[in-house]
Amino acid sequence: MSSAEIWCILQMSGGRTLAVTRSLRAAGFDVWAPTGMMRRARPRSRKYRDEPVALVSGVAFARLGDAPRLAAIVQAPVQEHPPFSLLMQRGTYGKVTDASLDPLRQYEMDKAAEWVDFVAAEEQARLEKLRKKKGRKRVKGRLNAARSYILGQTVRVEGPAFQGLTAKVLESKKKGTLVIDLGGMLGQLTVETCDVCPVHVDDAQPEKAPVT
């Protein structure tokens, strides 16, 4: 088995797992640590941030062929990377085969799929909340519009049904709609406030509903 198929094991404090991994990668080393995503609330804020997290805290893996160079970094008097060490077993570098890391790779993939589902569900919940908020604003707008009419006021129907006919306002309902009386056979009708408009004194004489 070639050294390319063998990994040595790096150890570090849990909070430095990804910092060590990023630093060594930037220096040209092939280093891997199982990584997922987490959503954290911002301090003193309702906002949040999404950030990567180590799925196996305090452990990373590097190619066995790089172990001597990594050991030299560990022993250097001046450190250019966050602190880490190499796991030693019986006087040699601790190592694992590439195939033995497959369960961790699968774990990383499963967590990635869970994250995608979580983000999609959060976005759906956000859109639903926004939809309900807009719905409440529309209802409030209709209520305000309905309250602007007074009982007995003359209005003209502007909706597609009975367009142009005039009616009297009989009732302003809780859902922001109006009950109007078209007269004659047409009788009473519940309409949205956007489907009527007030008739002013100087308006032209509107068409009347047929009377039998």
What's the pTM? 0.60
| Average pLDDT of the residues in 100-108 | 95
Cβ(44)–Cβ(129) below 8 Å: no
CATH code for the domain in which residue 212 is found = 2.30.30.140
118 and 162 housed in the same domain: no
18 and 109 housed in the same domain: yes
82 and 183 housed in the same domain: no
Q: What is the pLDDT of residue 122?
A: 85
Please tell me the distance from the alpha carbon of residue 37 to that of residue 114, in angstroms, as a whole number.
Answer: 10
Q: How many domains does the chain contain in total? A: 2
Angle CA 114–55–42, to nearest 5? 75
Percent of the chain clearing pLDDT 70 (strictly above): 82
Percent of the chain clearing pLDDT 90 (strictly above): 42
Q: What is the pLDDT of residue 2?
A: 60
DSSP character string of 166-189 = EEEEEEE-TTSEEEEE--TTT-EE
Is a pLDDT exceeding 50 seen at residue 207? no
Residue 37 gets the label, from left (phi > 0), alpha (psi -120 to 50) or beta, of beta
Is a pLDDT exceeding 50 seen at residue 70? yes
49 and 87 housed in the same domain: yes
Q: Tens digits of per-residue pLDDT, 82-95?
A: 999 999 988 899 99
Q: Tens digits of per-residue pLDDT, 116-161?
A: 898 888 888 887 887 777 666 665 555 555 556 778 888 888 867 6
Domain of residue 12, residue span? 3-124
Residue 129 lies in a domain: no
91 and 50 housed in the same domain: yes
119 and 177 housed in the same domain: no
152 and 119 housed in the same domain: no
3-class SS of residue 203: coil
50 and 94 housed in the same domain: yes
28 and 68 housed in the same domain: yes
